[in-house]
Amino acid sequence: MDLRLNEEQEMVRNSIREFAENEIAPLAREYDEEEKFPHKQLEGLAEMGLLGMIIPEEYGGAGFDSVSYSLALEEIAHADASVAVIVGVTNSVCCYPILGFGTEKQKQEFLVPLAKGEKLGAFCLSEPHAGSDATNLKTTARADGEDFVINGTKSWVTNGGESEIHIVMAVTGENAGKKEVTAFIVEDDREGLSVSSVEHKLGQRASKTTELSFVDVRVPKENMLGGLGEGMKVAFNSLDNGRIGIGSLAVGIARAAYEEALAYSKDRVAFGKPISEHQAIKFKLADMATEIEAARLLTLKAAAAKDAGGKKTGVQASMAKLYASEMANRVCAEAIQIHGGNGYSRHYNVEKYYRDARITTIYEGTSEIQKIVISRGVLKD
């Protein structure tokens, strides 16, 4: 077993690390405080091809493998988790399902501009009363001549109000007492689509999260993504991919918190010596470093399994997301503890990492949902 990165993966990681450190990290605090969408940072990432990382070059993407994608998201999140979630969502739950389920015409029309970073994507699954219980949707899409007419409300839409392309799951009928769900590609300029509210969040505040309202939104049948009734397959397949990204993002936040705590512990003196020389702090640092390493390995393993075309990547993605997100919360809490009172102040970055980490155990499936996916997988073995 070879755990080394290949030359291309190393190059991807190093170039993105440099960009993220120089162009994203210095702006992170200001954009967070002001809830300002990071257009400028995204322009730079688009130029590097990072808004279509896992999309083949023939469709305008960078053609990365999933391992490189994971490394890239860790680096971006290390600089600013808000930017990373915007990039993760457009890549993994908007571009990716169009690549996997789209017709050639849909790929040319929607995927190419997304992958080139000319447009941004969003994923509309959750609703006010259907979060974890994702199949229990109320949004409908009624066939009408050559069109479908969509009505309903979607919530927790990352990139809502900033995206041109939305993947929308809606109920198209009923089959043997079960809701038939179908996926659609909906452009932002369709009449009847509007932002009904904007969330003001604890963390990842530079990313925009909205509720979207669909009132008689008419889309042509050719905007259906996948077959009739394949909507949940499109959604869950996308989330299998997205969860590798969220695991990587969580590793990035944790690494940033750990590095600041490590530096602080060498500098801060208590009882006559740097606190890094006290066993209480040394052991915390040891645990943090070990957990970050374990989460990264789990995440890269899920990515490598996906690259190898393995069958159980959904379970591996859920394991990576579960462990990395819970780990990030523990590590960020300890980073504050090592900083003492200073860690609670906005003068230090660790309070931001702590806030940014909190959502990672919730979005793209809570930790409890990941345990359902994992337990179903292991019980099938």
Whose Cβ is closer to ligand CAA: residue 83's or residue 89's?
Answer: 89
Rounded to the nearest whole angstrom, what is the least distance from the CB of residue 230 to ligand CAA in the complex?
A: 8
Q: Report angle CA 285, 326, 350 to the nearest 5 degrees.
A: 50
Give the Cα separation of 104 and 108 in Å (integer): 6
Residue 256, CA distances (Å) to 228, 364, 374 in order: 44, 22, 28
Task: Return the structure tokens found at 185.
Answer: 């590609």
Whose Cβ is closer to ligand CAA: residue 36's or residue 312's?
Answer: 312
Rounded to the nearest whole angstrom, what is the least distance from the CB of residue 147 to ligand CAA in the complex?
A: 25
Rounded to the nearest whole angstrom, what is the least distance from the CB of residue 166 to ligand CAA in the complex?
A: 10
Residue with tokens 């939104």: 217
Whose Cβ is closer to ligand CAA: residue 72's or residue 338's?
Answer: 72
Give the Cα separation of 61 and 55 in Å (integer): 4
Burial profile 14-51: b = 16 or more Cβ within 10 angstroms, e = fewer: eebbebbeebbbebbeebbeeeebbeebbebbbeebbb
Whose Cβ is closer to ligand CAA: residue 188's or residue 364's?
Answer: 364
Whose Cβ is closer to ligand CAA: residue 9's or residue 299's?
Answer: 299
Rounded to the nearest whole angstrom, what is the least distance from the CB of residue 265 to ligand CAA in the complex?
A: 34
Amino acid at 326: E
Give the Cα separation of 59 and 96 in Å (integer): 12
Positions marked catalytic? 364
- End-to-end distance of the chain based on CA atoms, in angstroms? 23
Rounded to the nearest whole angstrom, what is the least distance from the CB of residue 91 to ligand CAA in the complex?
A: 11
Enter the DSSP assignment of 95. I
Task: Return the structure tokens found at 342.
Answer: 């200073």
What residue ranges bind ligand CAA (CB under 6 A)? 89, 123, 125-126, 132, 134-135, 156-158, 232-233, 236-237, 239-240, 314, 363-365, 369, 372-373
| Residue sitting closest to ligand CAA (CB) | 365
Task: Return the structure tokens found at 97.
Answer: 């399902």
Give the Cα separation of 323 and 296 in Å (integer): 10
Q: Is 28 left (phi over 0), alpha (psi -120 to 50) or beta?
A: alpha
